[in-house]
Copies of this chain bind each other. A is one copy, B any other.
Amino acid sequence: MSHPLLAELATLLPANALVTAADKLAPRLLDQRKRMQGQTLGLALPSSTAEVVQIVQACRRHGVVIVPQGGNTGLVGGATPMQANSLIVGSDKLNRIRALDPAGYTLTAEAGCILDDIRTAAESADRLFPLWLGSSGSARLGGLVGTNAGGLQVQRYGNTRELVLGIEAVLADGRIYQGLHTLRKRNAGYDLKQLFIGAEGTLGFVTAATLRLFPAERSEAVALVALPDPEAVLALFAQAKAQLGEVLTAFEMIDAEALRIMAKHFPSIAQPFSPIPPCAALIALSGGEAEQVLNERLAELLIAAGHEDAALAQDGSQAKALWALREHIPAAQTREGPSIKHDLALPISAIPAFVRAARAALAEQLPEARPVVFGHMGDGNLHFNLGWPRREDFEQAEARANALLFDLTLAHGGDLSAEHGIGRLRLAEADARHDPVERALMREIKATLDPDGVFNPGVLV
């Protein structure tokens, strides 16, 4: 407790709200991908918005910067404190669901609520909160909002931005922005909540959010389709979207290498096709109709598209198994070895040409890289990851792969981050590759809302 900030916080906060023990801080200092090792004065765990205000004001007085942290599941280092003169403010104890209004289709939850718990609370009222991603069991709402998280059902329901109606946040000067609106429509000027969504904790500390709910889905239909190439995946997506627009919940692409490492590391997850096809598409429908009707609509699509040999789940457990084949790919990659990860945004119709061009360029310039290509085809979001055989020259390989793939992505009208954000990992790339006016406007807004740079310096702007 040598630092005067810690001494002051110890008088302001309850005893268990301040953590300085090295073993308890350790997991907070390492980012999810274990690539950044941070440092900090300590961890504050406020239980109320008022406590957050006190912490922010104390940090300002002592010139200590604040790193907001949720479930620490981000993939670009946005929640890792890299300077010693920092305080992590964790949302763990801001964990109440403040309101649930089934008739109004809204739920208001504090920043520390875990996504799965929010989904369960909505379900208990026969409602759906559709945000769903690999880290649903540990990601917290504040981080989901701060990173504008995407996931597996964006095609139908949008990403976090589209699911947030209102925000409560503590600003750098200690003011509380009280914007927990529950109204679907409110045209009252600049939509301030948008500033905090996707801001990666750089403009304030989000303490709570009001979320949109949807009718519970009565049924689901899932199919895995074997396809010869990305062009065929695109053609099937076009047909699915046009024919099944309102019930098309997800459309994922999985390539042969992803299926191969799944067979190797998760042999218990059954694969419907043998031999492994060059590509597969996972199609999920859901809605208020009977399961039989959805299955028929999906079967009609597959017949019309000439894919009668697709694997159509016959029940919920088969549907889960098909989803497991998609969901476990990142885990299979981790077991396979080091991998260079990308989260590319692309115009949907450019994906096949991009995949071909990227494979060709890699084969020539980085022949040891083994592409594992999968992702949210329906959202134009490709996780174009590269297995790499060694740790020794991983970082050199990564730098070369990034340059090559980002060049190609931008040339195809895409961008370097679809859902993971900028964080620390992509900051230099964003500065180098994005429109200078866009970057300048962000810095101007940052300077307006956080003139002393209290919140998350070195991240995003």
B348 near A104: Cβ-Cβ < 8 Å: yes
In the assembly, what is the distance between CA of A159 and CA of B191, in Å?
13
With an 8 A cutoff between CB atoms, is A56 at the interface? no
Chain A contact patch, size range: 35 or more
7 extra interchain contacts, Cβ-Cβ under 8 A, other than A183-B413, A245-B288?
Answer: A101-B347, A104-B380, A154-B184, A177-B435, A177-B437, A189-B461, A191-B197
- Please state if B150 and A438 are interface contacts (CB–CB under 8 Å): no
Whether the Cβ atoms of B186 and A246 lie closer than 8 Å is no
Could you mark each residue 184-228 of chain A with 1 if its beta carbon is under 8 Å from any beta carbon of chain B, else 0?
Answer: 111111111011011110010000000000111000000000000
Which A residues form the contact surface with B (CB < 8 A)? 101, 103-105, 126, 147-148, 150, 154, 158-159, 161-162, 171, 175-179, 181-192, 194-195, 197-200, 203, 214-216, 234, 238, 241-247, 287-288, 345-349, 376, 379-381, 413-422, 430, 434-435, 437-438, 440-442, 444-445, 447-449, 460-461
- Contact between A348 and B419, CB atoms less than 8 A apart: no
A448–B441 alpha-carbon span in the complex (Å): 9
Q: Are A415 and B186 in contact (CB under 8 A)?
A: yes
**Given the contacts A438-B177, A441-B192, A182 and B413 also touching, CB distance less than 8 Å:** yes
For the complex, give the distance between the alpha carbons of A419 and B161 in Å: 19
Q: State A379–B246 Cα separation when bound (angstroms).
A: 19
A453 to chain B, nearest CB (A): 15
Among B104, B154, B198, the residue within 8 A (CB) of A349 is B104
Contact B185 A379 (CB under 8 A): yes
- Do B178 and A347 touch across chains, with their CB atoms under 8 A apart? no
Smallest beta-carbon distance A217→chain B, Å: 8
Interface core residue of A150, A203, A215, A430 (most chain B CB under 10 Å)? A215
- A376 to B183 alpha-carbon distance, docked (Å): 13
* Min CB–CB distance A275 → chain B (angstroms): 31
Query: Pick the contact of A198 from B162, B191, B437, B445 — CB < 8 Å?
Result: B191
Tell me the complex Cα distance, A138–B418, Å. Answer: 36
How far in angstroms is the closest Cβ of chain B from A303?
16
Closest to A446 in B: B190
Q: Kindly list chain B residues whose C-beta atoms are within 8 Å of the C-beta of A147.
A: 187
Of B158, B183, B243, B447, the contact of A288 (CB 8 Å cutoff) = B243
